[in-house]
A and B are shown apart, each in its own frame.
Chain A
Amino acid sequence: MTDVIRLTAAELGRKIAARELTAVAVTQAFLDQIARNDDAVHAFLYVDAEGALAQAAAVDARLDAGETMGPLAGVPLALKDLFTQAGLPTTAGSRMLQGWRPPYSATVTQRLIDAGIVILGKTNLDEFAMGSSTENSAFGPTHNPWDLARIPGGSGGGSSASLAAFEAPLAMGTDTGGSIRQPASVTGTVGVKPTYGGTSRFGVIAMASSLDQPGPCARTVLDAALLHEVIAGHDPLDSTSIDAPVPPVVEAARSGDVSGMKIGVVTELGGEGYAPGVEQRFGEALDLLRAAGAEIVEVSCPHFSYALGAYYLIMPSEVSSNLARYDGMRYGLRAGDDGSRGTEEVMALTREEGFGAEVKRRIILGTYALSSGYYDAYYGSAQKVRRLIADDFDAAFAQVDVLVSPSTPTTAFRIGERIDDPLAMYKSDLCTIPSNMAGNASGSFPAGLAPEDGLPVGFQVMAPPLADDRVYRVGAALERAVAERDGGVLTDQIAARWVPQAQEA
């Protein structure tokens, strides 16, 4: 069955629906692959073999009974450990929540289950999704399947690595400043941050509420679009959820027609600090899109240079408030409660022990940015910059259909390389942050390998709010052109390393 794990989610869904494969057999194949490889990759924090097989068996029973289900029924998925799933451990990569089993499921989790998607388990991430490498996970880093000494991106490195190591055909991520797109970029996979409000945040452990957005991860554009369609749409339990039809993302992914489209290259997202291989593959991708009929122009977004600064004020401010609830009173870790200490001290000791260094840094930074006397200079100014960035996008989208840039300035760096230099780590998200600030749709797509290190390069596509389909349209065009050039999608190039040769095929 090892050939099964190389199939795309769309193909798996089709074969399961046609009863050429059973959901149980497919699920078992991925569980075997996880057992074989995850000691080296460490994509998963928790594998729910029993639950996944039971879910798969239920899908098989429904299909055997002649029921018609969605295109991804029976297809397995790796769930970032930031989504609650009733009864399963949910840690957010933090000691604070070690052993916590939520009594409820996120809206996204429920929609996956309702669509017959089989949840294999929970994937690793930077603690509370804060980081660009998964090195901030309390449970050890995840390794990049392209080079195990390198980071798989973050915060959703477990999800991206599970895809690149063929441990799952689909994965779920969340993106606050690039946590879906940067991991996709450095693992040669596809990741899309939908328009803010396009997917429900209910049941997704919050990092920065005004920026967080769940989104699909996959190895192909169509798979990501099919998953997008399952999870997106209005949720009355999330006040910031948009009550509008889901953009036609699957149709756009199938079409991939960019003829006549106007594509804007953001001047400010390139140049100094960008690796030569990244710039080279980005330039080639532009050529491929031009050859496919798109018009390429350059567009300036002058305030994007301030995005990182504004992000590192808004995000920690919201973090400092969102993470206040982890105080050891109602659930999770409680430290130092010896009967003599008061609540104040027990809360402080709990938070000292439960949170890692990066989380503490951001909480303290956010506490500062919101404190009286500094609010206007920091939080208030950052909100104004946010407006200026959104205005830049509006002006740009008046001229072009989409904006593009490299997804991240470099390829995957080495584990440990940036861990003591927060600012260098933060710069991983230089290109991805503007879309979180403005709330528009944005995705990362494989553009090839950087010649200097043989590591994946990502190509970012940004579209106006609610025009998520344009992201997929351009992504699909690029995927097609790259596959033609390289003889397949990018992850095919490491399949041989992770997928054992078929024995009986």
Chain B
Amino acid sequence: MALSTEEVARLAGLARITVSAEELATIAPQLDIVLDAVASVSEVANADVTPMTHALPLTNVFRDDVVRPGLTREQALAMAPAVEEDRFRVPRILGEEA
């Protein structure tokens, strides 16, 4: 399975990572090698095998609906790159109509 640089660029876009042309040229063949190595999984993954998503068969882990103190506003905003009017300031949002 060969992964084209265009495909890797599309995936990087989905993953919100800017990737330079040189990086693409390095990453695409590296991913190819890994994908070749992992392709063996489909050899044994028959339809009658139940997928396993959790290491342990726990179910119904719930919390009581009781309020507990969280962070102060100062704590919440302390590490923010930009703050204004007690809110997180983020760059303008493009490509979306309100």
Contacts and interface: CB of A to CB of B under 8 A. Distances in A.
Contacts of B13: 348
Contact of B45 (A360, A361, A380, A438): A380
Contact of A308 (B37, B75, B79, B95): B37
B92 A310 contact: no
> In the complex, which range does the number of interface residues on chain B fall in?
35 or more
> In the complex, which range does the number of interface residues on chain A fall in?
35 or more
Interface stretch (A77-85, A325-333, A478-486): A325-333
Give the interface SS of chain A, mostly helix, strand, loop or mixed.
helix
Contacts of A236: 63
Contact of A337 (B71, B75, B91): B91
A123 B58 CA distance: 33
Nearest to B33: A423
B78 A103 contact: yes
Contacts of A310: 38, 41
Nearest to A382: B41
B37 A309 contact: yes
Interface string A356-389: 0100110111011001000001101111111110
B56 A197 contact: yes
Contacts, number: 188
B51 A386 contact: yes
Interface string A195-218: 111000000000000110000000
A240 B38 CA distance: 27
A390 B27 contact: no
B35 to A, nearest CB: 8
B41 A385 contact: yes
A101 interface: yes
B90 interface: yes
Interface stretch (A48-56, A264-272, A338-346): A338-346
A387 B49 contact: yes
A390 B8 contact: no
A313 interface: yes
A360 B34 contact: no
Contacts of B71: 103-104
Interface string A280-318: 000000000000000000000001011011101100000
17 contacts: A236-B63, A308-B37, A310-B41, A329-B81, A330-B79, A330-B81, A330-B88, A331-B80, A343-B91, A343-B94, A344-B16, A344-B95, A360-B17, A364-B15, A378-B41, A387-B51, A426-B34
- Which A-B residue pairs are the 6 nearest by beta carbons? A439-B55, A383-B51, A342-B94, A381-B45, A196-B55, A334-B81
Interface of B: 3, 7-8, 11-19, 23, 26-27, 30-31, 33-35, 37-46, 49-56, 58, 61, 63, 71, 75-76, 78-82, 88, 90-95
Given A361-B34, A364-B12, A365-B35, 17 more contacts: A103-B78, A196-B55, A197-B58, A210-B53, A313-B38, A343-B92, A343-B94, A348-B17, A352-B17, A361-B30, A364-B8, A364-B27, A381-B42, A384-B51, A423-B34, A437-B55, A438-B55
